[in-house]
Amino acid sequence: MASYNAEESYSAKLVSETTANIDQEIYEKISEAAKKYGVSRSKLVAMLLERFVNAHKKTRMVHGTVRYQESRPKENWRTLHITLPAHWHDFFDDARKLWKLSVSFLIAMAVEQYLTDDDNGEDFRPADNYWWGAHTIIQFTHNDLQYVLLCWGVPTQPPEIPKNCFAS
């Protein structure tokens, strides 16, 4: 029987590995920018997604299922291996649900919007990783519908359900 190593078990829970299938050109942009800024591709993708979320803070209501990138010939796709702290993986999943876009589609959009030739990288470096590391989830019912209020961050007090969220 294998011995239990508490340190290995603990560290394994802190990191999440996933993959995203993205266009070859997007993959190359990510790889070049990661080298330019001296960060891993995973870290760069996380910083870009953080910038995307910060730029799109307005209230939204999206119906339907998750949208995916347009199909392309198999040779145009690359698999991007992403290793993230576990709480960032949760954040990626939350963003996917909120925008109703696949994570790979969100990555592609963030690269196209924010990874430009004249970008010096300073604008999307995370200021505080802790902000993304905690969630508050409140479930409630209104007019026989189930709602989930997801709060990114650490609230100083329990959040109130916005009264205008039910306005037509």
Mean pLDDT over all residues of the chain? Answer: 77
| 134 vs 63: CA distance, rounded Å | 26
Burial class (CB in 10 A: 0-12, 13-18, 19+), 135: middle
For 100-145, how does the pLDDT look when each residue is reduced to its tens digit (9 = 90+)?
Answer: 889 999 999 999 988 876 665 555 554 444 445 567 777 888 788 8
Reference 18, options 127, 106, 123, 130; nearest CA is 106
For 7-43, how does the pLDDT look when each residue is reduced to its tens digit (9 = 90+)?
Answer: 444 444 578 888 899 999 999 999 999 999 889 999 9
What ranges do the domains of the chain cover? 15-129, 134-168
- Provide the pLDDT confidence category of residue 2 given band limits of 50, 70 and 90: very low
| 135 vs 90: CA distance, rounded Å | 9
Torsion of CA 123, 127, 133, 134, to 10 degrees: -110
